[in-house]
Amino acid sequence: MSGSLFFRQLMRNLCSIRLLIVVVSSAILIMVQYWTTYHAGYRIERSAPTFLRDVMLFNQYGSASTLYLYLLPFLAALMGGSVWAAEERSGRLINMLSREGRSVLLRTSMLSGFVLGGLGGVLPLIINLLVSAIQTPYMSFIDGTSVNAEGMVLGRYVLIDSSSWAYPLYATSQPLLIAVILLMVFVLSGAFSLLALGASLFIRRKHVELLVPFVVSLVWWMLPSLTGGLVPDEWSQIIFLNFSHWDPPGTAWMNFTGMLLMTAGMSACSLVLARVKESRDVL
């Protein structure tokens, strides 16, 4: 791997219009989250003050959480999925191949693509956390029990439902939960970006690689319907990262399995595509 090339690819993308698009998208998502939480026609119960009330994924009442998870593959690919394609279309690739070698260039591009994709995916959540923390600098714990012993719904505000896979971590340490969620989003976004980068090695049309992880994630999300329920709903990031909602008993392990399958599967596909590209070019 080339450290200087890795740094140049990072800076080139972080100083591009792609980052601006991600920031603007983040602002729109935050506004959607606030509007749908407080102006959607239903009344939100009062609770102890906590900045997580207005943060995507942590707040189950706003609509931006689901929208964010749908857009996550595209945002990740936008930041890091075109690293190789950008070098190729700029004309720099030929000189870089002779100087660095194809293997080094591929490995470096995949690493920078993973990091950039992770940043592109997690940035909206980080901005949302910062804005909300400035507005409401409190982190009170809110009990997640939403029903009583008789199964009747309790009329109180619930941030993260006690049935959620994330609730034990939330009850133990809120900062740790935030760190874990940010890490999960970063790693998954990096995998989405790697998939786009792997596809870009064989796609000649400009920017088409950005749609590959988006389409793959939609197909993956629809697999439960397409297979008649053989594939669990919890295997999609649209479900397992939307963790503040009620979870059916005994499904926590399915969320972790889905995260592992998506991350490992997309990373493996990108590595295979890179290997095929390298072998073809050598031949």
By residue count, the chain amounts to: 283
221-240: per-residue pLDDT in tens? 999 888 887 888 888 898 88
**Cβ neighbours, 10 Å, residue 131:** 17
Q: How high is the mean pLDDT of the chain?
A: 87
- The proportion of the chain whose per-residue pLDDT surpasses 90, expressed as a percent, equals 47
Residue 75: pLDDT band with limits 50, 70, 90 = very high
The domain in which residue 54 lies consists of: 3-282
pLDDT for residue 40: 72
**How large is the average pLDDT for residues 96-109?**
77
**How large is the average pLDDT for residues 97-117?**
84
How many domains does the chain divide into? Answer: 1
Q: Is the pLDDT of residue 1 over 90?
A: no
Distance CA 52, CA 130 (A): 10
Structural contact between residues 99 and 174, judged by C-beta atoms closer than 8 angstroms = no
126-145: per-residue pLDDT in tens? 999 999 999 989 999 888 78
pLDDT for residue 283: 44
Distance CA 185, CA 245 (A): 17
Q: Give the global pTM.
A: 0.91
